[in-house]
Amino acid sequence: MTHEKVLKVRRAVEMVKLAAPELMIDGEMRADTAVLPEIIESSYPFANLHGGANVLIFPDLQSANIAYKLCSKLVGAEAIGPILMGLRKSARILPHDCEVEDI
């Protein structure tokens, strides 16, 4: 049985492939696998992704928030988001503890 969150990520990957087939994209793998080229090469030799991902898609807001905070604080990665969509223009949501660099 496939979980609804896996199907959600799978559908997002399909949508990106249709909209921008020139992008190097894969889906349904652990985040550590996606960002570490040596894991991709050993575990997913059939993958389209090479050299490590620079964008990650998460199945829900909680997972994304945990991951982006860890990445930005532990390794100094630049975090962009969260971004609220569906309005006339997109809007960036600022957490209560954001710093000047975040804005």
The pTM of the full predicted model, rounded to 2 decimals, is: 0.61
Domain ranges, ordered by start, for the chain: 4-97
What integer pLDDT is reported at residue 81 of this predicted model?
65
pLDDT at residue 95 above 80?
no
What radius of gyration do the chain's Cα atoms show?
15
Distances (CA, A) of 70 to 3, 13, 18, 66, 77: 25, 23, 31, 6, 9
What integer pLDDT is reported at residue 67 of this predicted model?
83
pLDDT in tens, 32-72: 888 889 998 898 888 888 888 888 878 787 888 888 778 77
Helix ranges, the chain (H):
4-19, 31-35, 37-43, 61-74
- The superfamily CATH assigns to domain 4-97 is Isocitrate/Isopropylmalate dehydrogenase-like (3.40.50.10750)
